[in-house]
Structure formats: structure tokens, C-alpha cells
Amino acid sequence: MCLGVPGKVVSIDGMLATVDFFGIRRNVRLDIVDEPVEPGDYVMNHVGFAICRIPPAEVEETIALYEQLLAAVSKEDLLAADIRGEIVAAGDKKNE
């Protein structure tokens, strides 16, 4: 019930944004997104409407959240520690 796909805003014309999803572009309506949206922003698209703007720091924020979770749960678990290290390292890398 929630097929939402994130995409990058390429251009805006009034309430209509041209959004790029991995090289495929479609118009997405901005009627119900609750903050200003600019070209370069990422939005979550559901049936042709943007339902939210995805803040740029979102990946780091979420990865940090996952890292916290792993740390809290498995303090003595060596395997998780290895993976935790990987996640911290990955968090330092900037992905496009």
C-alpha cells in the first residue's frame, strides 16, 4: 500500500517537478509535500505525488541509527563488532 520510490528533482514548474529515478524521468506533483522543494532535492514519490522531501543527511542519519542498534544489542558478539566496524567505515565514505 506504500509503493514509494525516491527520486531527485531535476526541475520545477509551479506544482509540478520533473524527477529523475536512475535515468528515468517522470513528473511528480508537489501539492502535498510540506516543505519547499528545490532542484537537487530528493523526494519520495507515491502514485505521482511527492509525499515528503528526503533530507540530504538522511543516509548518514539512518546508518548511524543502525549502527547504534547493532552496538546496543550485541556488545559481546564479535561478529557484529566486525560488521559494526564495516558500517562505521562505510559511513565515512561518501556515496553518490
Cell of 68: 547504534
As a whole number of angstroms, the longest Cα–Cα distance in the chain is 54
Count of positions on this chain that bind another protein (CB under 8 A)? 55
CB burial readout 24-62, b (16+ within 10 A) else e: eeeebebeebeeebeeebbbbbbeeebebbeeeeeeeee
H helices present in the chain, as ranges: 58-73, 78-92
Site for another protein in 13-52 (CB under 8 A): 15, 20-27, 29, 31-34, 42, 44-49, 51-52
Q: Does 12 bind another protein (CB under 8 A)?
A: no
Site for another protein in 49-68 (CB under 8 A): 49, 51-52, 54-55, 58-59, 61-63, 65-66
Positions that interact with another protein (CB under 8 A): 1-8, 15, 20-27, 29, 31-34, 42, 44-49, 51-52, 54-55, 58-59, 61-63, 65-66, 69-70, 72-74, 77, 79-80, 83-84, 86-87, 90, 95-96
